[in-house]
Amino acid sequence: MLEVTWGLCKGNQSINNTGYSPTMNSFRLFLTRMVLSLIPETRGFGLKRMLYRWAGVRIGDGVKINSSVRISGIGQLSIGDNTWIGPEVMIACSSEISIGADCDIAPRVYIGDGTHLITPGMAHIAGKDVTVPVHIGNGCWLCVNSTVLPGVSIGDKCVIAAGAVVNKDCDRNRLVAGVPAKVIKELD
């Protein structure tokens, strides 16, 4: 495969002829956000996919991202086919976040792969930064205001209830709710 290098990539990062970068480019994400602020919330999905791909996000076919979504970081973010990402969702990706196909992510959901070690003896209690990958399976529904914390794997066809804080892995076909999130029901 012919390797094409773009001037805005950092270090040894490059974009191959498929249009994907191994990691996201923060400057290109910034430019993407500027353009997206001019596009109506639920319009121009093809243009949005193109811009996010240009910024280094792996995006499947038919993905619909609302204009107010905020994606930040320089990690590896992948979003499967036909996934919906609603208004004001925040995805902070420093290492790796994968979102499966056919997912529905409601407004104001937070998905992040970074945190800090707690260091009471230091000037800043939020000490050394730590990143742990997040994986969300196919067909999941993350309801409004839910939070997915670093290191969590959510199995296929899970429902994360509104306001839930997911800090542990979820097996497939589960409804989880609460703070912290607990299994409420197995979905058959």
pLDDT tens for 16-46 read 334 444 689 999 999 999 999 999 999 999 9
If we measure between CA atoms, which residue out of 143, 67, 140 comes closest to residue 107?
Answer: 143
Cα–Cα distance measured from residue 49 to residue 36, given in angstroms and rounded to the nearest whole number: 11
Mean per-residue pLDDT of the chain: 89
The pLDDT of residue 23: 85
pLDDT tens-digit readout, 90-123: 999 999 999 999 999 999 999 999 999 999 988 9
CB 149 within 8 A of CB 112: yes
Distances in Å between the Cα of 39 and the Cα atoms of 32, 68, 70, 121 are 11, 9, 14, 47
Q: Which residues are identified as catalytic?
A: 116
Cα–Cα distance measured from residue 154 to residue 132, given in angstroms and rounded to the nearest whole number: 14
Residue 15 belongs to domain with CATH number: 2.160.10.10
Residue with tokens 């794997």: 153
Q: Determine what percent of the chain is predicted with pLDDT higher than 70.
A: 88
Give the pTM.
0.86
Residue with tokens 């910024």: 55
If we measure between CA atoms, which residue out of 180, 156, 186, 185 comes closest to residue 167?
Answer: 180
Does the N-terminal peptide bond of residue 107 adopt cis geometry, omega within 30 degrees of 0?
Answer: no
Q: Tokens in use for 161?
A: 């209830």
Please give the DSSP secondary-structure letter assigned to residue 14.
-
If we measure between CA atoms, which residue out of 27, 115, 128 comes closest to residue 72?
Answer: 27
131: containing domain:
3-186
Exposed, middle or buried, 44 (CB in 10 Å: 0-12/13-18/19+)? middle
Judge whether residue 11 has pLDDT over 90. no
What's the total number of domains in the chain?
1
